[in-house]
Amino acid sequence: MENESSPLDLRLRSLLSDADLTGKQVGGAAYDVCIPASLREWVVNVRMTDAWVSLRTFVVALPESPRVRARLLEAAMLANGRMSLSKFSLADDGSLCLEIEYRQEHLDSSVLRNLVCLAVKVGEAEYPRLFRIVTGEAALDSLESAFNRTDA
């Protein structure tokens, strides 16, 4: 961690702490927050600029098959049409991510916590359908089965 933190970094660190969220600093005014959920752990990257707070979480890697990739992107764009605050996007590394942007001036710790929870909730709701497109039914059924065995 840097010796001197920027005002944005100090604000974001304080907001995360007040929201009872623990994050690993990954850059200036940027933290990765890990949230365990039903099928997987979601790593929500939270970044703050002078005007915006941006949240991004990895959903799935783009498949190599052009046919499957097209089906995945179509499903993600259809989901975007149903959502207002969160959107699927393509990352530079070729993965499908879920993103949320929110005006920093309206941000407090409660809103930040709600935004992180929203990213996870939307991810959890959309992930099974998108995962099945990429890998087929059997892979997710196996994952769900393994998770249910560890919970029992």
Domain assignment present for 128: yes
Domain assignment present for 2: no
CATH of the domain at 34: 3.30.1460.10
Calculate mean pLDDT across residues 100-119: 96
* Number of domains within the chain: 1
pLDDT reading at 1 higher than 50:
no
Domain assignment present for 147: yes
Confidence category of residue 143, pLDDT binned at 50, 70, 90: low
Task: Please give, one letter per residue, the 3-state secondary structure of the chain.
Answer: CCCCCCHHHHHHHHHHHHCCCCEEEEECCEEEEEEECCCCEEEEEEEECCCEEEEEEEEEECCCCHHHHHHHHHHHHHHHHHCCCEEEEECCCCEEEEEEEEEHHHCCHHHHHHHHHHHHHHHHHHHHHHHHHHHCHHHHHHHHHHHHHHHC
Domain limits at 122? 7-151
Domain assignment present for 45: yes
pTM of the model: 0.85
Calculate mean pLDDT across residues 101-107: 94
pLDDT-wise least confident of 12-26, 38-52, 83-97, 138-152: 138-152
Give the rounded distance of the alpha carbon of 81 from its chain centre: 18
Report the pLDDT value the prediction gives residue 2, as an integer from 0 to 100. 46
Domain assignment present for 117: yes
Residue linked to tokens 């909730």: 121
Domain assignment present for 26: yes
